[in-house]
Amino acid sequence: PEAEPAAGEDATSIGEAREAAKGCRRCPLWHDATQTVFGEGPETADVIFVGEQPGDQEDLAGKPFVGPAGRIFDSILDDAEVDRRKVYVTNAVKHFKFEPRGKRRIHSKPNAGEIQACRWWLDKELDLIKPNLVVALGATAAQALLGRAVPVLKMRGAVIERDGLRVFITIHPSLILRIREPADKEAERERFLKDMRKVKELM
Ligand code: URA
């Protein structure tokens, strides 16, 4: 008898891939997370934005970038006149990884094995959408897309090619949230806005 394809292997659309990913067991993160948070956006998008992994609010909502990082991301895309409804937004890792601390769930970084396991879904999204440009939001996304560690602060604004794919390197928007000093925060927001304006030109 022929072997059954693994979940998602034969998906021919983002909708089918999203369905298959609901039951993903490629790494252990599914166990504690609420649900798989698959990418979102039109299958015809010219650009894919790749974050790290869903946060607390994304895990509950089942949608990428809807929490605090998503709000600052949206407001900067808006300023750069990039319409989020026309782009595809996803994460390198599609389950929330966290440490419980009292009633709170504290984000914990995905490791290389988890990134590698989930790369399968990211590749599926890239194959189905065939974007002109992929934007790596931070080090985890860059690692997933390029298969190696990238110094994002040094490389931000650069485009790196991999297998015919153009990968634009920038920071993760949550970096802006973590800056406390208002002038520094505003300067970082401006730098990220400049990156998003470049993305718009490259799209
Ligand atoms: N941070 C990410 O990298 N992705 C999300 O979806 C939310 C926060």
The complex scores an ipTM of: 0.93
Residues with Cβ < 8 Å from 75, sequence gap 6 or more?
none
Q: Is 40:48 a contact under the CB 8 Å cutoff?
A: no
Residues with Cβ < 8 Å from 178, sequence gap 6 or more?
none
Ligand 1 centre and the CA of 64: distance in Å? 6
Average pLDDT score over the chain: 96
Cβ 51 under 6 angstroms from ligand 1:
yes
Top-tier CATH class for 14-202: alpha beta
Task: State the pTM of this model.
Answer: 0.96
Nearest-CA neighbor of 50 among 76, 16, 89? 89
Q: Is 172:137 a contact under the CB 8 Å cutoff?
A: yes
Residue 2 pLDDT greater than 80, yes or no: no
For a pocket test of ligand 1, which of 58, 59, 107, 108 has the largest count of ligand atoms closer than 8 A to its C-beta? 58
Q: Where are the domains of the chain?
A: 14-202
pLDDT of residue 33: 98
Ligand 1 centre and the CA of 2: distance in Å? 38
Q: Is 196:80 a contact under the CB 8 Å cutoff?
A: yes
